Structure 1
Amino acid sequence: METEHREQTEAFDNTPWPSTTLPDWMSDLPGHLSLSRISVPGTHDSMSLFGNSKIRCQSWPLEAQLAAGVRFLDIRCKLEGGHFLIYHVNTFQEADFSEVLKKTLGFLEEHPWETVLMRVKEELPMIPNEAFAPRLRQYLEEEGQGRVWAKETIPTLGQARGKVVILEELEEEVLGVPHEELKVGDAWHVLSAERKWDRVKEHLGVATTGDLAILHLTFCSGNGLFTNPEELAKDINPRCYEHLRARAGETVRWGVVIMDFPGTGLIRIIVESNLEMGSGCTTA
C-alpha cells in the first residue's frame, strides 16, 4: 500500500500534530479589547479529518488545533435523532457536537484566559430542519456549563475569557452573533489559485482598514473541480504567510484568518500581529 506523504512547513501542515504550540497566547492581551479588534487564527471545517481528498480539510484533531493557537472553529452539524452529528457534505466525521463542546470547554478550563469563537451551522440541508435552532439553544443551555456566549453582541476579551463565543448561521432564530452582522470573505468555489489568492488578499486588506467594531472573517480555504482543500492550502497558505510576514513588527488587525491545514508559522504570524502580547511558544 502506498505510504501517505506528510509535509510540515511554516505555512502548511498535514501531519498529525503541530510542531509547536501556543496554548495561552490570549493571556497577554488586555481584557478591554473587543474580539473584533483581535487577529485570530482559525480553521475551516475544523472537524473534517475523514473522507476523500475533496472532503478532508484538516489533519490535526481538535485538541491539537486548540493547543497550536487556533481560536476560531467552524463546526458543521446535522440534527439526527436528537443529536448534532458532525458532517462535511454527506461524510460523517466520526464526532458529534457534544464531543466538540466538551473538549473545547475542557481546554478553556485548563487555559481560562483564552476564548474560542465557534461558527455553528446546519450542514447542507435539502430543507432546513425547523428543530435545529431550538434544539441547539436547548443543548447550549444544558451542556454549555454557563460558559457559552450566545448573545448577539460581540464581547470584549475580558467578557469572553474561558467561554465559547457562538457565531450563528441559522435560517431564522438568532443564537449568538448573527452571520449577517459579520464581514465575511469566503470565495470557496475555486477556479484558479491565482484568483483565489486575489480574493483572500483583497479581504485581508478590508480587515486591516475596516470598522474595528465589526468582526472580519477571511476564508483562505476553498475547493474546486481542478483542486481540493489540501492542494489549494499548499498554494494559498505560503502566500498568506509571506503577505502577513511583510508587516511583521506592526500592530495589524487581520481579523479572523481561517485556513485548511495551517502551519504553526502561519498561526504564529497571525497571533504576533497583536503586538500587545508576548511570545510564550512552547515545543510540543
Structure 2
Amino acid sequence: METENQEQTEAFNNTPWPTVTLPDWMSGLPDHLLLSRVSIPGTHDSMSLLGDLKICCQSWPLEAQLAAGIRFLDIRCKLEGGHFLIYHVNTFQEADFSEVLNKTMSFLREHPQETVLMRVKEELPVIPKEDFAPRLRQYLDEEGQGCVWTKEAIPTLGQARGKVVILEELEKEVLGVPYEELSVGDAWHVFSAEHKWDQVKEHLNAAANGDQAVMHLTYCSGNGLFTNPEELAKYINPRCYEHLRAQAGEVVRWGVVIMDFPGTGLICTIVESNLEMGTGHTNT
C-alpha cells in the first residue's frame, strides 16, 4: 500500500501502526469472568500483511495489534519440512508459528493480566496432514513456555491471564477449546456488502442476547468476486462501529468481534462494552 493512499478512521485503519494503544485493558476485569462473557476485539487472518488486494487483510504487525488491544488472533499454518509456516491461501507471509508464539508470549510477559485467544488452523490443505496435530502439540509443549491453555473447557479470565488460549479445529485430539463448539458467524464469501453487514449485525445481536456460557465469534471480514478484504472493511467496519456505539454506556456482551483493518475507535468501543468491569479509557 502506498503511503499517500493510507487511510485512517475511527473504524478503519490501513496505516502501519495504531493511533491509540490499550495494552492492559483486561487488567480491570474480575478473575471470575468466563472468557465467553467478555467482549474481545480480534483480527481475521492476523498475519496476512503481504500479497495483493485479495490476500492482504491487515496493515499492523503482530506487536501493533496486541498493543492496540487485539486479543484474538487467527493464525493459518501450512506444515512444511516439519515447520508451521504462515500462509494466506498460497501466499507465504514470511513468518512461522514459532515467531507468532514468541512474540505473543513476550507481550504476555510484559502484560501478565492479559490473555490472547488464538485460533490455529491448517491453511487449505488438499488432504489434511496427519502430523499437523502432533506437531502443534510439540510447538505448544516446547515453545509455549507453560503458558498455553490447551484444555477443552472455556477458562475464566483468572485462569487465562498471562496465557495463550488455543481454539482448535483438530479431528482427533483436544489441544484447546474445540472450535466447533463455539457459535461462529463467518460468512466469508461475499456477494453483497449490504447482505454481509446484515449477517454480521444478526450474529452480533445473537451474541448480545445469547447464552453467555457459549463463546460467540463474529467475523466482520470477507472476500468475493466483486470485493476484497480492504474494500469490504471500509464498508463493514464503520457500520459495526456505529452499531456498537448505539449501545455505548450499557453493558453488552458482543463476544469476539473479528475484523480486517480495524480502527482504534472500533477496538475501544468493543473493549468499553465491558463496562461493569471498569474498563473505560484508563489504559489508552
Q: What is the CA distance between 1:3 and its match in structure 2?
A: 5.7
Q: What is the CA distance between 1:172 and its match in structure 2?
A: 2.8
Q: What is the CA distance between 1:171 and its match in structure 2?
A: 3.1
Structure-1 residue corresponding to 2:282: 280
Distance in 2 between the 1:64 and 1:178 partners?
28
- Residue 138 of structure 1 aligns with an amino acid whose one-letter code is Q
Superposed, which structure 2 residues align to 1:199-278 within 5 Å? 199-275=199-275, 276-278=277-279
Structure-2 residue corresponding to 1:119: 119
Superposed, which structure 2 residues align to 1:1-284 within 5 Å? 4-275=4-275, 276-278=277-279, 279-282=281-284
Across the aligned residues of Structure 1 and Structure 2, the Cα RMSD in angstroms comes to 1.1
Percent identity, aligned pairs only, is 82
SS at structure 1 position matched to 2:153: coil
- Residue 274 of structure 2 aligns with an amino acid whose one-letter code is N
Q: What is the CA distance between 1:204 and its match in structure 2?
A: 0.4
- Work out whether residues 25 and 277 of structure 1, in 8 Å CA contact, stay in contact via their aligned partners in 2: no
Distance in 2 between the 1:134 and 1:277 partners?
41
Could you list the runs of 5+ residues in structure 1 that have no partner in the other structure? none
Q: What is the CA distance between 1:277 and its match in structure 2?
A: 2.1
SS at structure 2 position matched to 1:53: coil
Distance in 2 between the 1:100 and 1:142 partners?
14
- Residue 86 of structure 1 aligns with an amino acid whose one-letter code is I
- Work out whether residues 10 and 266 of structure 1, in 8 Å CA contact, stay in contact via their aligned partners in 2: yes
Distance in 2 between the 1:52 and 1:239 partners?
25
Distance in 2 between the 1:240 and 1:2 partners?
26
Distance in 1 between the 2:251 and 2:82 partners?
45
Distance in 1 between the 2:270 and 2:2 partners?
35
Runs of 4+ that moved beyond 4 A: 1-4
Q: What is the CA distance between 1:2 and its match in structure 2?
A: 6.9
Distance in 1 between the 2:61 and 2:222 partners?
20
Query: How big is each residue's C-alpha offset from its partner over 1:155-175, in whole Å with a ceiling of 9 and x where there is no partner?
Result: 000000000000001233221
Deviates more, 1:132-141 or 1:64-73: 132-141
SS at structure 1 position matched to 2:5: coil
Distance in 2 between the 1:127 and 1:151 partners?
26
Q: What is the CA distance between 1:4 and its match in structure 2?
A: 4.9
Distance in 2 between the 1:212 and 1:281 partners?
26
Distance in 1 between the 2:2 and 2:47 partners?
25
Distance in 2 between the 1:239 and 1:2 partners?
26
Distance in 2 between the 1:139 and 1:42 partners?
23
